[in-house]
Amino acid sequence: MRRPGLRARLGLALVAVAVAAVGLAAFIGNMGLSSRLERAARARLAVQAGHVASVAAAVHEGSGGWTPDARTELGHLAALDGLRLSLLLPDGRVVQAGPLPAGRLARAPVLLHGRRLATVSVSYANGVLLSKEDQQLKGSLDRLHLVAAGVAAFAALVVGLVLAEALSRPLRRIRATAERLERGDLEARVEAGGEPEVRAVGRALNRLAETLGHEEELRKESVADLAHELRTPVNGLLSRIEAAEDGLLPLPENLAAMHDEATRTARLLEDLSRLADAERPGLLLDKAPIDLAEVAKTVGQAFAARFTQAGITFSSGCTAAWALGDPERIEQVVANLLSNSLAYTEPGGKVSLTVGREGPEAFVEVADTGVGIDPEDLGHIYTRFWRGDRSGSRSTGGSGIGLAIVRELVRAHEGRIDVESTPGRGSRFKVVLPALQREALAGG
């Protein structure tokens, strides 16, 4: 079953409250009025009983007893006042004067010269205590309450509808905006307005739209970058194949260059899949307490020969530094930094790998005396596909993805990466992770 809308529910709720309030007021007012009217009526009846008693005494004296005539006369006299009566004699007999009284009774002693002749009981002839005027008063009060309830219900309905409309209008706007976003119109925004709570929802939706737009922008850029990156080696490959087909260049001489282009493409694809891996939300890390020094040493040893080959002096100084990490990923980080130093350092330069602890932190540092990075470029080095001017022309460079991977992996380890670089002097990359305390290691 569909739930009724905000307008219907708010309107009905307010009407219910208004009617209940007026109903309660009517009920309490009626009760108070009735009890007062009844008390007054009872007092009146008691006074009338006193009168009837003195008339009865006079009739008794005039007739010389409760003769049939006396009783008839007494009954007539009472009927004139709209009353019925009966007499209870001292010996317990009940003497009637006309029809028996009914309903609410009032009693009074019939006294003659200090002697009790009887007790008279009186009631109103119609058996109803309240007078006509009393009943009319009650009736008109009820009617007034009914009118009040109607007016209140109407007012509540109007207020409810207005209120619901004021509440739901901005909600409808938010819904319309969300639907536009859903259809792909990422420019859609909610206009500010409405209650603070609703405005907050609108602002949240706007932020979400902002993020969506940003993501979409990034996606488009990435695709464009990727196409651009792939175009260079693939075009090179194609032109060489065409040259070979046309007999412009003999195939054997071309083959090595073609192999290079193909390798570049393969490496780019490999890098891309690594980056996609690193950027996956909730990257599956196999974290365990590891000694960063051990991990770094392994990578350093693998690189040592390549540094020697490039005419670069490589040194490492590693002291134990424990942290929670995925050894394979940390290896990847160190390898990326070392391969950059290798690529961007001239023969005769120096590269050092250092691991250690600084207070609550463990760090891995790769420093080189290479070409360095321009200060205005430092903000871009972690952007995918971004490559410095100096490196763009280098045959040794990668595809501009290495540092993007490094940053993602370090982030996944709740760490950070700092860089200092001076063009022409060298660079220093420092990966910092929260260190594991010795006690924690001993305990766990």
Ligand X SMILES: Nc1ncnc2c1ncn2[C@@H]1O[C@H](COP(=O)(O)OP(=O)(O)O)[C@@H](O)[C@H]1O
Q: Which does 190 bind (CB under 5 to 8 A by kind): Mg ion, ligand X, none?
A: none
Rounded to a whole number of angstroms, the minimum distance from the CB of residue 2 to Mg ion is 59
Q: Is 232 in the site for ligand X (CB under 6 A)?
A: no
Look at residue 121 and give its three-state secondary structure: strand
Rounded to a whole number of angstroms, the minimum distance from the CB of residue 198 to ligand X is 45
Which of 118, 296, 321, 381 forms a contact with ligand X (CB under 6 A)?
A: 381
Binding mask 343-362 for ligand X (x = CB under 6 A): xx------------------
- CA–CA separation, 211 and 208 (whole Å): 5
Q: Is 397 in the site for ligand X (CB under 6 A)?
A: yes
Q: What is the DSSP string of 256-321?
A: HHHHHHHHHHHHHHHHHHHHHHHHSTT-----EEEEHHHHHHHHHHHHHHHHHHTT-EEEEEE---
Taking CB under 5 A as the binding criterion, the range among 25-33, 196-204, 392-400, 421-429 that sits at the site for Mg ion is 392-400
> Which residues lie below 8 Å from residue 34, measured CB to CB, with a gap of 6+?
138
Q: What's the one-letter identity of residue 18?
A: A
Count of residues interacting with ligand X (CB under 6 A): 23
Alpha carbon separation from 45 to 50, 51, 106, 122, 192 (Å, rounded):
9, 10, 6, 8, 72
Q: Between 240 and 274, whose beta carbon lies closer to Mg ion?
A: 274
- CA–CA separation, 78 and 76 (whole Å): 5
Joined together, the tokens standing for residue 154 give 């109407």
Rounded to a whole number of angstroms, the minimum distance from the CB of residue 399 to Mg ion is 8
Specify whether the CB–CB gap between 409 and 280 falls below 8 A. Answer: no
Q: Between 372 and 415, whose beta carbon lies closer to ligand X?
A: 372
Q: Between 160 and 370, whose beta carbon lies closer to ligand X?
A: 370
Taking CB under 6 A as the binding criterion, the range among 180-188, 255-263, 298-306, 340-348 that sits at the site for ligand X is 340-348
Q: Is 398 in the site for Mg ion (CB under 5 A)?
A: yes
First to last CA, the chain: 57
Q: Is 340 in the site for ligand X (CB under 6 A)?
A: yes
Q: Is 388 in the site for Mg ion (CB under 5 A)?
A: no
Which of 134, 261, 291, 368 forms a contact with ligand X (CB under 6 A)?
A: 368
Pairing status of strand 350-358 against strand 313-318: parallel
- Footprint on this chain of ligand X (rule: CB under 6 A): 340-341, 343-344, 368, 370-373, 381, 386-388, 391, 397-404, 427
